[in-house]
Amino acid sequence: MTVAGSVEPLLKLTADAMNEVNELILSKAGSDVELIPEISNYLVTAGGKRLRPMLTIASASIFGYRGDDHVKLATAVEFMHTATLLHDDVVDESDMRRSRATARRIWGNQASVLVGDFLLGQAFRLMVDVGSLAALDVLSTAASVIAEGEVWQLSAARSMETTKRDYEAVIRAKTAALFSSAAEVGPIIAGANERERLAFRQYGDALGMAFQLVDDALDYGGSAATLGKNVGDDFREGKVTLPVILAYQGGNDEDRAFWRAAIEQGQNDEAALASAIERLERTSAVEKTVEEARLYGDKARTALSELPAGQWRDALDEVISFCIGRVV
Amino acid sequence: MTVAGSVEPLLKLTADAMNEVNELILSKAGSDVELIPEISNYLVTAGGKRLRPMLTIASASIFGYRGDDHVKLATAVEFMHTATLLHDDVVDESDMRRSRATARRIWGNQASVLVGDFLLGQAFRLMVDVGSLAALDVLSTAASVIAEGEVWQLSAARSMETTKRDYEAVIRAKTAALFSSAAEVGPIIAGANERERLAFRQYGDALGMAFQLVDDALDYGGSAATLGKNVGDDFREGKVTLPVILAYQGGNDEDRAFWRAAIEQGQNDEAALASAIERLERTSAVEKTVEEARLYGDKARTALSELPAGQWRDALDEVISFCIGRVV
pLDDT at residue B221 in the model: 80
* Partner-chain contact A144 B122, CB within 8 Å: yes
* Partner-chain contact B133 A137, CB within 8 Å: no
User: Among A40, A124, A136, which would you mutate to test the B interface (most chain B Cβ atoms within 10 Å of its Cβ)?
Assistant: A124
Q: Which among A55, A161, A43, A53 has a CA at the least distance from the CA of A102?
A: A43
* Partner-chain contact B154 A110, CB within 8 Å: yes
Task: For chain A, say whether B257 makes contact (Cβ under 8 Å).
Answer: no
DSSP category for residue B221: S
Residues of A in contact with B120 (CB under 8 A): 117, 120, 143, 147
Task: For chain B, say whether A242 makes contact (Cβ under 8 Å).
Answer: no
Rounded distance between C-alpha atoms, residue B213 and residue A31, angstroms: 25
Q: Residue A102 CB: number of other CB atoms within 10 A?
A: 23
A225 has a pLDDT exceeding 60: no
Task: For chain B, say whether A110 makes contact (Cβ under 8 Å).
Answer: yes
* Partner-chain contact B117 A154, CB within 8 Å: no
B3 has a pLDDT exceeding 70: no
* Partner-chain contact B128 A148, CB within 8 Å: no
Rounded distance between C-alpha atoms, residue B45 and residue A189, angstroms: 42
User: Among B28, B31, B33, B86, which would you mutate to test the A interface (most chain A Cβ atoms within 10 Å of its Cβ)?
Assistant: B33
Q: What integer is the mean pLDDT of B252-267?
A: 97
User: A327 or B29: which carries more pLDDT confidence?
Assistant: B29
User: A65 or A158: which carries more pLDDT confidence?
Assistant: A65
Task: For chain B, say whether A140 makes contact (Cβ under 8 Å).
Answer: yes
In order of A42, A78, A205, B138, B142, the CA distances from A124 in angstroms are 22, 12, 22, 11, 11
User: Among A148, A161, A162, A172, which would you mutate to test the B interface (most chain B Cβ atoms within 10 Å of its Cβ)?
Assistant: A148
Rounded distance between C-alpha atoms, residue B244 and residue B226, angstroms: 22
Model confidence at A328, pLDDT cuts 50, 70, 90, reads very low
Task: For chain A, say whether B159 makes contact (Cβ under 8 Å).
Answer: no
pLDDT at residue A52 in the model: 97
Model confidence at A197, pLDDT cuts 50, 70, 90, reads very high
Model confidence at B328, pLDDT cuts 50, 70, 90, reads very low
Q: Domain segments of chain B: what residues? A: 8-325
DSSP category for residue B97: E
pLDDT at residue A253 in the model: 97
Residues B129-173 have pLDDT tens digits of 999 999 999 999 999 999 999 999 988 888 999 999 999 999 999
What are A42-46's contacts with CB under 8 Å, separation 24+? Answer: A42/A103, A42/A106, A43/A82, A43/A85, A43/A86, A43/A103, A46/A97, A46/A98, A46/A100
* Partner-chain contact B114 A120, CB within 8 Å: no
* Partner-chain contact A121 B140, CB within 8 Å: yes
pLDDT at residue A4 in the model: 67
Model confidence at B225, pLDDT cuts 50, 70, 90, reads very low
Model confidence at A109, pLDDT cuts 50, 70, 90, reads very high
* Partner-chain contact A109 B110, CB within 8 Å: no
B94 has a pLDDT exceeding 90: no
pLDDT at residue A229 in the model: 56
Nearest to A144 among B113, B125, B133 (CB): B125
Element (H, E) at B140: helix B133-156
Considering only A102-111, B198-207, B214-223, B300-309, which range has the smallest mean pLDDT?
Answer: B214-223
Q: What integer is the mean pLDDT of A76-96?
A: 92
Nearest to A148 among B31, B131, B144 (CB): B31
Residues of B in contact with A174 (CB under 8 A): none
Q: What integer is the mean pLDDT of A234-244?
A: 93
Residues of A in contact with B146 (CB under 8 A): 117, 121
pLDDT at residue B1 in the model: 41
Model confidence at B4, pLDDT cuts 50, 70, 90, reads low
Prediction ipTM score? 0.94
Mean pLDDT, chain A, rounded, equals 93
User: A154 or A180: which carries more pLDDT confidence?
Assistant: A180
pLDDT at residue A222 in the model: 62
Q: What is the CA radius of gyration of chain A?
A: 20
Task: For chain B, say whether A120 makes contact (Cβ under 8 Å).
Answer: yes
Q: Residue B313 CB: number of other CB atoms within 10 A?
A: 17
CB pairs under 8 A between A and B: 134
Task: For chain A, say whether B188 makes contact (Cβ under 8 Å).
Answer: no
pLDDT at residue B2 in the model: 42
Q: What integer is the mean pLDDT of B70-86?
A: 97
Model confidence at A147, pLDDT cuts 50, 70, 90, reads very high
User: Among B90, B127, B140, which would you mutate to test the A interface (most chain A Cβ atoms within 10 Å of its Cβ)?
Assistant: B140
The DSSP result for B247-273, as a single string, is HHHTS-HHHHHHHIIIIIS---SHHHH
Q: What integer is the mean pLDDT of A197-201?
A: 98
Residues of A in contact with B115 (CB under 8 A): 147, 151
Task: For chain A, say whether B113 makes contact (Cβ under 8 Å).
Answer: yes
Q: Nearest 5 degrees, angle CA B295-CA B299-CA B301?
A: 115
* Partner-chain contact A35 B146, CB within 8 Å: no
pLDDT at residue B326 in the model: 78
Q: Which among B14, B3, B4 has a CA at the least distance from the CA of B315?
A: B14
Considering only A147-161, A249-263, B255-269, B274-288, which range has the smallest mean pLDDT?
Answer: A147-161
Q: Residue B261 CB: number of other CB atoms within 10 A?
A: 14
Residues A245-277 have pLDDT tens digits of 999 999 999 999 999 999 999 999 999 999 999
Helix, strand counts (H, E) of chain A:
17, 2
The amino acid present at B279, given as its one-letter code, is: R
In order of A11, A27, A97, A233, B154, the CA distances from A43 in angstroms are 20, 14, 10, 20, 20
Let me know if A73 is exposed, middle or buried by CB neighbors in 10 A (0-12, 13-18, 19+): buried
Q: What integer is the mean pLDDT of A37-65?
A: 92
Model confidence at B322, pLDDT cuts 50, 70, 90, reads very high
A165 has a pLDDT exceeding 50: yes
Please report, rounded to a whole number, the percentage of residues in chain A having pLDDT higher than 90: 84
Residues of A in contact with B114 (CB under 8 A): 87, 91, 147, 150-151, 154
pLDDT at residue B222 in the model: 62
Q: Which of residues 25-44 of A touch B (CB under 8 A)?
A: 31, 33-36
pLDDT at residue B20 in the model: 97
| Residues forming beta bridges with residue B101, ordered by sequence position | B96
Element (H, E) at A72: helix A69-92
pLDDT at residue B5 in the model: 85
Residues of B in contact with A155 (CB under 8 A): 33-35
Look at phi and psi of residue A131 and say left if phi exceeds 0, alpha if psi is from -120 to 50, else beta.
Answer: left
User: A234 or A185: which carries more pLDDT confidence?
Assistant: A185
Confirm or reject CATH 3.20.20.70 for domain B8-325, answering yes or no. Answer: no
Task: For chain A, say whether B145 makes contact (Cβ under 8 Å).
Answer: yes
pLDDT at residue B231 in the model: 84
Model confidence at A228, pLDDT cuts 50, 70, 90, reads low
Model confidence at A201, pLDDT cuts 50, 70, 90, reads very high
Nearest to B147 among A91, A109, A118 (CB): A118
Element (H, E) at A97: strand A96-97
Determine the length of chain A.
Answer: 328
* Partner-chain contact A128 B113, CB within 8 Å: no
B59 has a pLDDT exceeding 80: yes
Q: What is the CA radius of gyration of chain B?
A: 20
pLDDT at residue B247 in the model: 98
Rounded distance between C-alpha atoms, residue A62 and residue B117, angstroms: 33
Model confidence at A44, pLDDT cuts 50, 70, 90, reads confident
A224 has a pLDDT exceeding 60: no
B230 has a pLDDT exceeding 90: no
Task: For chain B, say whether A85 makes contact (Cβ under 8 Å).
Answer: no
pLDDT at residue A231 in the model: 84
Residue A4, SS3 per DSSP: coil
Model confidence at A96, pLDDT cuts 50, 70, 90, reads confident
Q: What integer is the mean pLDDT of A181-191?
A: 98
